[in-house]
Structure 1
Amino acid sequence: METFNGLGMGLHNISLLSSAKSRSISAENFTGEKGKGGLATEGTGKECARDLGVGWKVSPSISIKAQSQFIIADIQDSGAIQHMWMTCPKEHFRTLILKIYWDGEENPSVNVPIGDFFCNGWGERVNVNSLPIVVNPAGGYNSYWEMPFRKSAKMIIENIGDDDAILYYQINFTLTEVPDHAAYFHAQWRRANPLKYKEVYTILDGVKGQGHYVGTYLAWQVNSNGWWGEGEIKFYLDGDEHPTIVGTGTEDYFGGAWNFEHPKGQYGVYSTPFLGLPQVSKPDGLYQSQQRFGMYRWHIMDPIRFEQDLKVTIQALGWRSKGRYLPLQDDIASVSYWYQAEPHANISELPGKDELEVI
């Protein structure tokens, strides 16, 4: 039987043998070394295991001090991250920042608040049932994005908040050869709060090199009455002055139609392998004043391929009187997900905690 290098396994090739080595990093095995799990003598569960000793859940999680960072993975080899699981209190969704560095690079390829990375951008947990991102009760955050690396992988959680944060995590990866045509995973967070009048929202810009765009998450707060999703998404590829790919409306891009309205007078939430509107937060008449939405679209079956550069924008459009479009001034945050060959253009630093805060 033909061997397999262990990257990209699915039901179509799950039976193939491979020489890849399976490893896992967690607070019970910080290095992921073979045969080194469950040996901690110090950790957040030490007191609970005081009558049982080593091997009895001594270190199930970590405490990340306020205004500090913790290296949760530092792998010096070639292979691929295949699954990540994390959980933390919702108060830290925007103050714990996930940063990932490939092959010793100085600028991260991933720089995203934890909540938004897992399609939970509003500080309130919502279940997500998609192919690459899964969120389960009561706050289990899972990523199945394949993330290959050739020399090293470093993963950091930065706590920009004023309080210490408890994080549980597990990172499952394989040590194996990586083919020459495998690209590196990237993700970037942006926000406009509010979007300026008559400006389009830029989801991604400044990407240089060859790659393919694989996903969009939007956390959208509507600051006006009426329908808000007439805007078109646009993909500018390889020097485009005008976009090559243009959508027909916001709900259309996320796989819905006719204002997401189902049943009549209500937003219909849904979560599918590639598209979803899993989160609709309604005003409560007291402290919650605006409608908020969380939406994702994965370009797994239809990746947007580029050879030199890429820019992605979306319009924020509603309606004014007499059937005219109204450019909206909403609070919009996004995560863009893509693969590309290195080197990559620098991903901009995130703003401070006040600019990240959900208010």
Structure 2
Amino acid sequence: MKRVLFLSILSLVTLYGRCQVTMESLLKEMVSAESLAKFPSPEFKLLQFSSYDRMSIAAGEPGWFANFDLSNFLRVEKREGRREFVLFDHRGAGAVVRFWMTFAGIHPGEGVMRIYIDGSEIPAVQGSPFELISGGKLAPDPLSSSVSKSYRYDRRGHNLYLPIPYSLNCKITYESEFVKEENAGFGGENVYYNINYREYPAGTKVESFCDKVLKKNSEQIKSVAQKLAGAVERQVFTAGLSKSKVLERGECYSESLPGEGAIGQISIKVENPGSEDFNLNQALRSVVLEISFDGVKRVWSPVGDFFGTGYKISPHRTFFTQVSEDGSMTSLWVMPFREGADVTIRNLAGFPVKMILEISKIEWKWNDRSMHFGASWREYHRLDAGGVKSNADLGEGAFDINYVTLKGKGIYVGDALTLFNSAYAWWGEGDEKIYVDGESFPSHFGTGTEDYYGYAWCRPEKFTDHPFISQPDGSGNLEAGYTVNLRYRSLDKIPFKESLVLNMEVWSWTDAILNYSPVTFYYQLPDHILYKKYSSREFTDPTGSLLSGEEGATKKVVTDRLELVPAIVREGRSEFDQLDFHYRSAGRVSFDRSVGFNTSNKAFVNWSGASAGDTLVVRFYTNENLKEGAIKIGFIKGANFGRFRILLNGKPFGDTFDGSSDTQFVTEVDFGRQTLNKGENQFTFINLGPSHSGQKNSFVGIDYIDFNF
């Protein structure tokens, strides 16, 4: 690895008087939850540079959902015989506060990154991006880290949260001989990045980043990292109240906190009071937290979503939320009020629940910068993700949905997403688009939902040890299942003076049905209110699937793919991806886009990674006892496809099938007349290995099934 060089530079301007923004002040702000509850001073805009696809120009125009969001730079500069690709160039006072990257292609991340400050031709720091962003050369973990640590290093999401302030200018470049200037994504090294930065008003005095500043703050950097990592216990709970109560169906319990102050910590645990009907998953969604500050309801969310665990207990620890193995859920958001607060737990479940509630009230001196905390939740229920998509078609079929629309003045501080994915394919290719104060084009345009949440490449591995990002459960990322993603903001909070709109693209590679439930967190000055009775019907919903309030919280939660895709077959053709993939002894099932195969719906089911003797059990259901009829199945043939045989309801079904072919195509096999059971039926695919000694893989590919009775 290249040695990191720290080069002190002379500032081009002398700063008279005390700086308003320094690395020290930013580090203190980062670990002060109280600072989030005050409108920033000095004020700033939070903006973003990213590698988003430059064909995305305007909503409603071709290219708005284009997906070549890699190796798109501001320009290429020639310097001393080398090519430097410019990722970031901001003129004026500012600070980089969050830097995310990942790589693909050849020699990923092996180039040289340089950060130039205040117009200097000499970089303040240089090294490989892995060293600088996640390797700990600038700051220790978790200020410099990668997730998930259980996956290969170069394909992780690399995150730098160490602030890099500057008074005049900051430019960040990447030098690599393997990055292509044209046709990026077709060979070469692929670079993906999102950089959040603050833009301060002209005249703001900022102490610029340099080697001297980094060394001067080394002890504070270490202390902040320890606090964020949980090595230094963060505990704001003083004298407070604790209440345990059984809530019957439809019942609620409220606690009032009179006078000036703030909620510093709130903890809730939901338990079974001894009811045979109790369902913890449903209780986490149908028991609701409501909080009013100074007479105005500002928080409405299912308890599980509010604490970042969704509707399953998913233990994790961040700087703002904690969930324990025993089901205890804790929030450390500071929530000020001037005259009083009311906390209500409402049971919307169809059964009684036992709730344990603890609240800490801390001191707070209200002033003209103080803000009320807010949280809102919604679900896009049985959301059709828009069919099979491709980059060549510019993401046709993708669309935007709204996380939240805020009116007035405040700051946006994070969100948590809980979803159930019906497809054996990645659901989150979509980008965030954040509009602040009426922007016609979003000042934040990302490169993928997982990039927004700090990880990369759709990976399902858990990470639960970072202060600002977490994936307590990723089992629904590449297969049908359940996922929870969290992103909380400290220095990368987004101020707004008039409005904020956060939209997220729904961009799944293949057919998918999603239950998609975001909860958002923000602070607003007291005269600015988001909801009228917490109804989201005022927002445009192109999908017709949006639920909020009691309508959403009382819906049955999904824990099995069959609840979204019932795998019921009728006479005629059924896509094989609509059946139930009940069991496999090895390998992976995926819904693959059918480039070159000419499949019936642009995709097929691919069972890969299995060996001779492995089995795949696929279930389907009929509504009536079907008599003899013809069954035909479309199979995939190609270079990587091997031999297999099939059982239908435990009996041999047809001859051994050999999928090997020098060319790739779909071939239909007629299995003659068969009889199905009423209700459940199942195919068992038995892998027989490669077709010949030169073949390494023995994939099994199925496109469709035809029933004609």
TM-score by length of 2: 0.39
- Which residue among 284, 307, 332 is the counterpart of 2:497? 307
Question: Hey, what does 1:77 align to over in structure 2?
Answer: 259
List runs of 5+ in structure 1 lacking aligned partners.
1-5, 15-19, 28-60, 261-266, 284-288, 321-325
The answer for the alignment partner of 1:278 in structure 2 is: 472
Q: How far 1:21 moved relative to its partner?
A: 12
Question: What does residue range 35-184 of structure 1 map to in structure 2 within 5 Å?
Answer: 61-71=244-254, 73-89=255-271, 90-91=280-281, 92-105=283-296, 108-121=297-310, 123-184=311-372
- Which deviates the most, 145-154 or 334-343? 334-343
Residue 202 (structure 1) aligns with: 402
Alignment of 1:301-340 (within 5 A): 301-320=491-510, 329-340=513-524
User: Counterparts of 2:305 and 2:256 in 1: how far apart (Å)?
Assistant: 23
CA, structure 1 residues 21+164, in 2 after alignment: closer, same or farther (shift >3 Å)?
closer
Q: Structure 2: which 5+ residue stretches go unaligned? A: 1-31, 36-222, 228-235, 272-279, 387-397, 536-547, 559-709
Residue matched to 1:188: 376
Deviation at 1:164, TM superposition (A): 1.6
Residue 110 of structure 1 aligns with an amino acid whose one-letter code is V
Tell me the residue number matched to 1:213: 412
Counterpart pick for 2:530 among 319, 323, 345: 345
- Deviations 1:227-248 (Å, cap 9, x if unpaired)? 2221001111111232111111
Q: Secondary structure in 1 aligned to 2:264?
A: strand
- Cα deviation, 1:135-168, whole Å, max 9, x if unaligned, reads 1121110100000000110010111122221011
The residue identity in structure 2 corresponding to 1:269 is K
Q: 1:250 to 1:7 in 2, by over 3 A?
A: closer
Q: Give the stretch that moved more between structures: 230-239 or 89-98.
A: 89-98
- Would the aligned equivalents of 1:185 and 1:340 in 2 still touch at CA under 8 Å? yes
The Cα offsets for residues 80-123 of structure 1, whole Å up to 9 and x where unpaired, read as 00011111132410111000001012xx20000001111121x3
Q: What secondary structure does 1:270 align onto?
A: coil
Q: Which residue of 2 aligns with 1:222?
A: 421
Contact 1:234 1:247 (8 Å CA) reproduced: yes
Q: Aligned in 2, Cα 1:282/1:234: closer, same or farther, shift over 3 Å?
A: closer
Q: Who is 2:240 aligned against?
A: 24
How far apart are 1:354 and its partner, in Å? 7.0
SS in 2 for 1:318: coil
Shift of 1:23: 3.7
Q: Is the 8 A contact 2:286 2:553 kept in 1?
A: no
Aligned pairs, number: 292
Letter of the 1:114 counterpart: V
Aligned mates of 1:234, 1:7 — CA distance in 2: 26
Aligned to 2:24: none
- The structure-2 alpha-carbon separation of the partners of 1:224 and 1:70, relative to structure 1 and needing over 3 Å to count, comes to same
What residue number does 1:31 align with?
Answer: none
The SS at the match of 1:8 is helix
User: Does the CA contact (< 8 Å) of 1:66 and 1:160 recur in 2?
Assistant: yes
Distance 2:383 2:494 in 1: 26
Shift of 1:7: 8.2
Amino acid at match of 2:433: K
CA deviations over 1:152-195 (Å, ceiling 9, x no partner): 10010111122221011110111442232011100000110122
Residue 155 to residue 223, structure 1, CA distance change in 2 (3 Å): same
Cα deviation, 1:295-346, whole Å, max 9, x if unaligned, reads 00011120011110111111121225xxxxx7x5421001000011123132
Residues 169/219 of structure 1: CA separation in 2 closer, same or farther (3 Å cut): same
- The Cα of 1:355 is off from its aligned counterpart by 5.0
Write the letter of the residue equivalent to 2:240.
S
Q: Name the % identity.
A: 26
Q: CA deviation at 1:199?
A: 3.5
**8 Å contact kept, 2:247–2:354:** yes
SS at match of 1:93: helix
| Aligned-residue offset at 1:293 | 0.5
CA distance in 2, matches of 1:76, 1:25: 13
What is the Cα deviation at residue 353 of structure 1? 6.3
- Aligned with 1:225: secondary structure? coil
Letter in 1 for 2:256: D
If asked which structure has higher relative contact order (CA below 8 Å, sep 6+), I would say: 1
- Taking a change above 3 Å as real, the CA distance of residues 340 and 256 of structure 1, as seen in their structure-2 partners, is same
- Write the distance in 2 (CA, Å) between the matches of 1:144 and 1:354: 23
Native 8 Å contact 1:77 1:175 kept in 2? no
CA distance in structure 2 between the aligned counterparts of 1:208 and 1:229, rounded to whole angstroms: 27
Q: Name 1:269's counterpart in structure 2.
A: 462
Alpha-carbon displacement from aligned partner over 1:192-251 (angstroms, at most 9, x marks no partner):
01224443221102x111111101100122222322221001111111232111111111
Structure 1 residues 153 and 318: alpha-carbon distance in aligned structure 2, compared to 1, 3 A threshold: same
User: Counterpart of 1:112 in structure 2: which amino acid?
Assistant: S
AA aligned to 1:345 is L
Supply the distance in 2 between the matched residues of 1:340 and 1:114 (Cα, whole angstroms): 21
CA 1:354–1:94 in structure 2 vs 1: closer, same or farther (change >3 Å)? closer
Q: Does the 8 Å CA contact 2:378/2:552 hold for their aligned counterparts?
A: no
**Larger radius of gyration between Structure 1 and Structure 2:** 2
Distance 1:236 1:258, change over 3 A: same
**Could you state the TM-score of these two structures normalised by the residue count of structure 1?**
0.75
Determine helix, strand or coil for the equivalent of 2:451.
helix
